[in-house]
Amino acid sequence: MSHQVSFSGQITPEQVQQIADQGFKTIINNRPDGEAVDQPTSAEIEAAAKAAGVAYKEISFAGNELNMQHVEDFADYFNQAEQPILMFCRTGNRSNGLYEAAKQRDMLDD
């Protein structure tokens, strides 16, 4: 696989600089705000990403609500995003599913 992509459970704004230090250039959030009371908001993580010099994109959806629009939005962004990319949601499974859905439809550039 030529893509440099990793999947993670929920990250915090405090972890973003460490993620940048590990070499990630882009963070993609697949978890909608408000799924858990202790969950940081997308805006908080986006601000931390901006401060760390990392690109940030939110393509969030509930676990069972993945649809073709999400896949298309993701593929469009992924294909122009700087890699390596870290995708996260609550556990990482949703992000992995989104990536696999786009890959299986041959929507991701090599």
- CB contact at 8 A, 77 and 85: no
Q: What pLDDT, on a 0 to 100 scale, did the predictor assign at position 64? A: 87
What's the CA gap between 101 and 74, in Å, rounded?
10
State if pTM tops 0.75: yes
The yes-or-no verdict on residue 1 having pLDDT over 60 is no
pLDDT by residue (tens digit) across 19-66?
Answer: 999 999 999 999 999 999 999 999 999 999 999 999 999 999 998 899
State the chain's mean pLDDT as an integer.
96
